[in-house]
């Protein structure tokens, strides 16, 4: 069945260092969503990418959707302690009735 995988599982960085998480789907996706979950919190939507090769930026966050629409990445420049949390990617099924979430990348930022 359809699967979405994420690496790495954990990332520990010093404040100010960059961070990247990668997402790979077993099937071509119509779009991909990214969510952030703070410790003890619930997932919060960050962005949705739709077009092949699309790149979107939100301040220090850069999101990319691969040309084949099977992979995506999230890059954070100059991490801050407020970036701590787990970042998930999610892709829809062919009929948009379900979403497949990756297992997430847990980011810890040391001040």
Partner 1 sequence: DTGVSQDPRHKITKRGQNVTFRCDPISEHNRLYWYRQTLGQGPEFLTYFQNEAQLEKSRLLSDRFSAERPKGSFSTLEIQRTEQGDSAMYLCASSLGRGTREQFFGPGTRLTVL
Query: Which residue ranges make up the site for partner 1 (CB under 8 A)?
Result: 4, 6, 9, 30-31, 33, 41-45, 48, 88, 90, 92-93, 95-104, 106
Residue 85, SS3? Answer: strand
Extract the tokens encoding 65: 């959707």
Question: Minimum CB separation from partner 1 for residue 80, in Å?
Answer: 23
Question: Minimum CB separation from partner 1 for residue 31, in Å?
Answer: 6
Taking the least distance from each CB to partner 1, the nearer of 14 and 96 is 96
Question: Minimum CB separation from partner 1 for residue 78, in Å?
Answer: 26
Extract the tokens encoding 33: 């969503």
User: Based on the number of CB atoms within 10 Å of its own CB, is 24 exposed (0-12), middle (13-18) or buried (19 or more)?
Assistant: middle
């Amino acid at each position: 069945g359809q699967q979405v995988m994420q690496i790495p599982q954990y990332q520990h960085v010093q404040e100010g260092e960059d961070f990247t998480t990668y997402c790979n789907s077993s099937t071509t996706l119509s779009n991909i969503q990214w969510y952030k979950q703070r410790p003890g919190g619930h997932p919060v939507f960050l962005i949705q990418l739709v077009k092949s090769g699309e790149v979107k930026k939100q301040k220090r966050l850069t999101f990319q959707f691969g040309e084949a629409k099977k992979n995506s990445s999230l890059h954070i420049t100059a991490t801050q302690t407020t970036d701590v949390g787990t970042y998930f990617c999610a892709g829809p099924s062919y009929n948009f009735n379900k979403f497949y979430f990756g297992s997430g990348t847990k980011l810890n930022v040391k001040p």
